[in-house]
Amino acid sequence: MPKETELRPEVDTRSDAVRKERRGLRNQARLFRALGHESRLVILAHLARGECCVCDLAEVTGLDQSTVSKHLALLSSNGIVDSERRGHHVYYHVIAPWVTELLRARPWAQEKEE
């Protein structure tokens, strides 16, 4: 019969793997939440065409600049957009190429075959 200490490393390895997987899924859920807001998708659609400053995005979305900034901060914290300060303005651009590809592909707009 194996000793208890001989079984422990296997259990620890398995629970480490489970914790790692859960952490990955938690990060993925956070990413989906970031993409799951219509205003953030509008912002991303405009950024997919090229960089914009907050004032331009506020005009396009009809939101206050502070609200746009909060949406951009969330997208930035999830590694979707990045920014660059130029003078008094901060310009944002998409850094996750898969987001731009997803927005261009528009899989949700395709008709379902029956």
The DSSP string of 25-83 is HHHHHHHHHHHS-HHHHHHHHHHHHS-EEHHHHHHHHT--HHHHHHHHHHHHHTTSEEE
What integer pLDDT is reported at residue 5 of this predicted model? 54
pTM of this structure: 0.75
Strand, helix or coil at 84? strand
What integer pLDDT is reported at residue 60 of this predicted model? 94
What integer pLDDT is reported at residue 107 of this predicted model? 74
**Distances in Å between the alpha carbon of 35 and those of 32, 100, 111?**
5, 12, 22
List per-residue pLDDT tens for the chain, 114 residues long: 555 555 555 545 578 888 888 988 998 899 899 999 999 999 999 999 999 999 999 999 999 999 999 999 999 999 999 999 999 999 999 999 998 888 888 777 766 655
Q: Is residue 66 part of a domain?
A: yes
Tokens 């990060």 belong to: 27
Q: Is residue 3 part of a domain?
A: no
Q: Is residue 77 part of a domain?
A: yes
Amino acid at 23: R
What integer pLDDT is reported at residue 58 of this predicted model? 97
Q: For residue 69, what are the domain limits?
A: 8-105
CATH of the domain at 87: 1.10.10.10
Overall domain count for the chain:
1
Q: Is 38 exposed, middle or buried (0-12, 13-18, 19+ CB in 10 A)?
A: exposed
Q: Is residue 114 part of a domain?
A: no
Q: What is the CA radius of gyration of the chain?
A: 21
Q: Is residue 111 part of a domain?
A: no
